[in-house]
Structure 1
Amino acid sequence: MNIRLVGRMVSSILFVTEVFMIPSLVLCCVDGDHEVAMAFLASMAVISLIAGALYIFGRKRDERFSARDGFVTVALAWVLISLLCGLPFYFSSEIPSYVDAVFEIVSGFTTTGASVLPDVESLSRGVLYWRSFSHWLGGMGILVFTLAVVPANRNSGGTLYLMRAESPGPSVGKLTPRIRQTAMILYGLYILLTILCIVFLLAGGMPLFDSVCTAFGTAGTGGFGIKNDSMASYSPYLQNVCTVFMLLFGVNFNVYFLLLIRKFSAAFKDEEVRLYLFLFASATGLIAWNIRPMMQSFAESLHHAAFQVSSIMTTTGFSTVNFDVWPSFSKSILLILMALGACAGSTGGGIKTVRLLLLVKELRYNVQRTLQPRSVRAIHVNGRVVDKEVITGVNSYMAAYCLLIFGSILLISLDDFSLETNISAVFACFNNIGPGFDVVGPMANYDAFSDFSKIVLTVDMLLGRLEIFPLLALFSRSAWTKKL
């Protein structure tokens, strides 16, 4: 492995992340929160020391970059960011436990939205901003942003390895011949949609600070609210704005690129997006029918059903009501949506709609092959033959996903909470959603878990965001050997 080049690239990522702390520092100075400002300065100093050491270590580097180096770079960068970027919470004593501080910032960067804080409204604006901004930065990807703003090395294939390791979905390709240009297009679309979300929220009377933080959580499909009741105290208009934009950010950004270059037919015929919208409409209708007796009108039940389906399906985690008291039928649908997640290439988490599509097509293919062993068939998506390596990758992902989910449920069950709590907590963290049921319901938090369980759930959030394999590769002995 090219350890020096990995160190150099990780140092660049840490420097970029550190720069993003400056707005929070400025907010603290404006508000007179000098203790919190000093916490941000101390955190930036620690990050600078570590990033500087990695930069010096990587000066005499070989520019050759392999897929293995890409996986290790992504995993190592995310681990270091997780351990370092929660320091402002800890140094300021706004989250006095370091384990809790790491849990909170990992929940932010992985766009999970699970929190250990019982009273977020007591936090300083600087901390609230950093907490919400971590969603936005982690949504599209910290490394994708770095690729967009930092000049790449001469090995363009290396940058593609980085994007493939960090971007969610079974396959990632280049929108343009140059990977840096692809990263710039993705972030350009991301910024544009975020600004539109802020504008619509402001139009509904939401204060500027609230609008910015809420848009960060919506765009990154993260779900950190700045109110203790999440989105419940905001108007139906503002809730509807979030419903629409959560759904939009759950769409594969490649589709927006197709619309941008006026390939409307290809965009509207995308099988994954059509399945995604079908699942949203079906789940919304079923839940609205099921919770109708609990609401004053069908319009109200449809409003809350659409919001929660959009929130859970895109793995955002905002809430307008306590869906933990909904009937079992509705909660079962939400639990299934937790696992399914949004589209590949979006800011959402979960298994991804395209994997469900491929699994269904593979099942049908195997049934037909059983009935007609001599027939020659292939699996197609959007009119293209799906490579067998992609199918193998999906199957491997699902195997690892199930094993890790089962193991995590077993480990956190040592805290002796209900089975509903344990299953939903693991599903909510692994699929980067946030709220679950019972003890970790939408009106509760994760503070009741032990430090051990919080560490397990923190690892789950990272595994879910990086789609398992990059993080597993970091702990593989073969990843650190010199021979390929």
Structure 2
Amino acid sequence: MNYKTIANVLGKLLIVTGCSMAFPLICSLYYRENDLNAIAITAVIAIGLGYPLWRFFRRYNDLNIKDGFFIAVFGWILISAVSGLPFMIHGSIPSFTDAFFEMMSGYTTSGATILTDIEVVPHGLLFWRSQTHLLGGMGFLTLTVIFLPHGMGGLRIFRAESSPGQVITKEKFIPRNRDTMIWLWGIYIALILVEILLLCLGGMSIFDSMCHSFGTVSTSGYSPWNASIGHYNNAYFDWVIILFMFLGGMTFMLFYHMAQGNWHIVKINTELRWYIGVMLFFCGMVSWILWKENTYDLINSIRYATFQVTSILTTTGFTTADYEQWPQAAQMFLYAVCFIGACAGSTTSGIKIVHYILIWKFGVVLIKRIFFRPMAVVSVRLNQRPVDPQIIHLAACYFIINIFLVLGGGCFMTLSDEMDFTTAMSSVISTLMNIGPGFGGVGPSKNYAFISDAGKWFLSWNMLVGRLEMFSALVIFYPSFWRK
């Protein structure tokens, strides 16, 4: 492993982290609250640690794929640890474990929180908390790639941080890595700015609009209010956020093709059609259940059901109602949505729809071969192209390991924290899929504060595994990874 090059990249990560605290500093100055020193001290620490690493090792630019995996895992851990310092220095979150959990949740776009009263936290720290969504949504390391020298191996870092689904959809659409990252970030920032504008036009404050937009397009879920989006009880805000949660769940490659006028590519995209179909099915079913059970009238049934289904499907985690008070049938459909996720190449986490498409189509092909056409050669097709069998094996492997992680994690949480079955399983599912709120003790009206330190560290690791799409985070446990 090229440790000097790794030190160079980690130094840049720390510098970017420190410099990005300029916006929370401005926010703190504007509101004249007591979090200014905590943010400023942390920024100095981050830059003070990062600058020497970059300065001394800036000549070392060789990265291999092993280095990319190492940076992807330990880079996220490092910035989460450093980013939690403002909360500890200020006293809002005095425990390092809790501060690390909150920041890991922010950067991995999980939205799980240990804060029992969000509204007492100063505005500067709240802005920093939401800004971790902005940085983590597109991937903190992809932002760092923009600042790397050409040819340094940015693609290796990008692959280590990316979903297996991105391999399936072959979504690298610009030859140069840095140009790709600039396009991705440009699309991402543009969506956020448009949402900020729309929320402001509806009467939401600029501070709240920015915090919620950071959490929407990045499909994350932190809100500056205890009741999340339900604080406003405003249909306009709900539908705007629904729209941008849906857009955040789309493959970002498609936005690039739309901008280029390549609508044919959008039209033939298999995953997009399934994404829309899955969304409509679950929104329709939950809406019908809520209306049938007289939970809400028809219009509000559609509104609340669509918001919550979209929020969970895109792993955002915003809430407008306590869905644990809904009929059991509606809750069951929401529970099923937790296992799906949106599109590969989006800001979402979860198993991803493309993996379900491949597994479903592969199952159909096997049934045809066994029962109807044993001598026929039938291929699985995606976006009107045949799929390599190795990719299908990867999709099946990814699905199976996710299920094993959920089952194993649920057993661990019941033993370590002696919590009930629903809470244990839901806490693992919600963190591994980067959803945030779940069911039981971690439901929409509750939080993760009651969990033990051991449980929080385990769930923090789950969030990282989910954000790095599992393989990059787990490969470091192979002994051969550390051998030459």
Which TM-score bucket, shorter chain as reference?
over 0.9
Counterpart position of 1:440 = 442
Counterpart position of 1:238 = 237
Letter in 2 for 1:73: I
**CA distance, structure 2, for counterparts of residue 169 and residue 221 of structure 1:** 19
Letter in 2 for 1:381: L
**CA distance, structure 1, for counterparts of residue 326 and residue 271 of structure 2:** 29
The within-5 A match list for 1:106-255 is 106-148=104-146, 150-155=147-152, 158-172=153-167, 173-234=171-232, 235-255=234-254
Percent of pairs with identical residues: 35
What displacement does 1:330 show? 1.3
The within-5 A match list for 1:55-134 is 55=54, 58-59=57-58, 61=60, 63-134=61-132
Counterpart position of 1:337 = 337
- Gap change, CA 1:388 and 1:333, over 3 Å in 2: same
Larger displacement relative to structure 2 (220-229 or 415-424): 415-424
The answer (yes or no) to whether the contact 1:170–1:390 under 8 Å persists in 2 is no
What displacement does 1:47 show? 2.1
**CA distance, structure 1, for counterparts of residue 11 and residue 396 of structure 2:** 34
The Cα offsets for residues 284-342 of structure 1, whole Å up to 9 and x where unpaired, read as 11001111134341111011001001111101111111001112221111112111111
SS of 1:231 mapped into structure 2: helix
What displacement does 1:93 show? 0.7
The answer (yes or no) to whether the contact 1:431–1:464 under 8 Å persists in 2 is yes
**CA distance, structure 2, for counterparts of residue 410 and residue 77 of structure 1:** 29
Counterpart position of 2:6 = 6
**CA distance, structure 2, for counterparts of residue 266 and residue 396 of structure 1:** 28
What displacement does 1:266 show? 1.7
**CA distance, structure 2, for counterparts of residue 171 and residue 30 of structure 1:** 41
- Gap change, CA 1:285 and 1:326, over 3 Å in 2: same
Larger displacement relative to structure 2 (412-421 or 86-95): 412-421
Alignment TM-score, normalising by the size of structure 2:
0.95
**CA distance, structure 2, for counterparts of residue 466 and residue 369 of structure 1:** 36
Letter in 1 for 2:144: T
SS of 2:339 mapped into structure 1: helix
Alignment equivalent of 1:454, drawn from 456, 479, 482: 456
Counterpart position of 2:389 = 388
The Cα offsets for residues 119-147 of structure 1, whole Å up to 9 and x where unpaired, read as 10100000100001111110111111122
The Cα offsets for residues 381-431 of structure 1, whole Å up to 9 and x where unpaired, read as 001121223222222222321222222111111222221111111111110
Gaps of 5+ in 1: none
What displacement does 1:373 show? 4.0
- Gap change, CA 1:463 and 1:298, over 3 Å in 2: same
What displacement does 1:470 show? 1.4
Counterpart position of 2:26 = 26
Letter in 1 for 2:9: M
The answer (yes or no) to whether the contact 1:426–1:460 under 8 Å persists in 2 is yes
**CA distance, structure 2, for counterparts of residue 75 and residue 432 of structure 1:** 16
The within-5 A match list for 1:220-369 is 220-234=218-232, 235-292=234-291, 293-369=293-369
SS of 1:171 mapped into structure 2: helix
Letter in 1 for 2:312: I
**CA distance, structure 1, for counterparts of residue 57 and residue 394 of structure 2:** 33
The answer (yes or no) to whether the contact 1:18–1:47 under 8 Å persists in 2 is yes
What displacement does 1:72 show? 1.4
The answer (yes or no) to whether the contact 2:111–2:435 under 8 Å persists in 1 is yes
The answer (yes or no) to whether the contact 1:202–1:211 under 8 Å persists in 2 is yes
The Cα offsets for residues 194-240 of structure 1, whole Å up to 9 and x where unpaired, read as 11101110111001111111101101111111111111122111111
- Gap change, CA 1:475 and 1:91, over 3 Å in 2: farther
**CA distance, structure 2, for counterparts of residue 169 and residue 443 of structure 1:** 33
Aligned residues: 477
**CA distance, structure 2, for counterparts of residue 438 and residue 198 of structure 1:** 33
The Cα offsets for residues 135-186 of structure 1, whole Å up to 9 and x where unpaired, read as 11101111111223x143425xx22121122123423442111111111111
The answer (yes or no) to whether the contact 1:144–1:163 under 8 Å persists in 2 is yes
SS of 1:174 mapped into structure 2: coil
- Gap change, CA 1:47 and 1:177, over 3 Å in 2: same
Letter in 2 for 1:154: G
What displacement does 1:60 show? 5.4
**CA distance, structure 2, for counterparts of residue 337 and residue 416 of structure 1:** 26
The answer (yes or no) to whether the contact 2:77–2:104 under 8 Å persists in 1 is no
Larger displacement relative to structure 2 (289-298 or 212-221): 289-298
**CA distance, structure 1, for counterparts of residue 63 and residue 350 of structure 2:** 29
Counterpart position of 2:401 = 400
SS of 1:160 mapped into structure 2: helix
Q: Provide the alpha-carbon RMSD of the alignment.
A: 1.6
Counterpart position of 1:379 = 380
Larger displacement relative to structure 2 (465-474 or 199-208): 465-474
Letter in 2 for 1:285: G
Larger displacement relative to structure 2 (111-120 or 170-179): 170-179
Larger displacement relative to structure 2 (318-327 or 64-73): 64-73
**CA distance, structure 1, for counterparts of residue 58 and residue 201 of structure 2:** 50
- Gap change, CA 1:354 and 1:304, over 3 Å in 2: same
The answer (yes or no) to whether the contact 2:133–2:215 under 8 Å persists in 1 is yes
Gaps of 5+ in 2: none
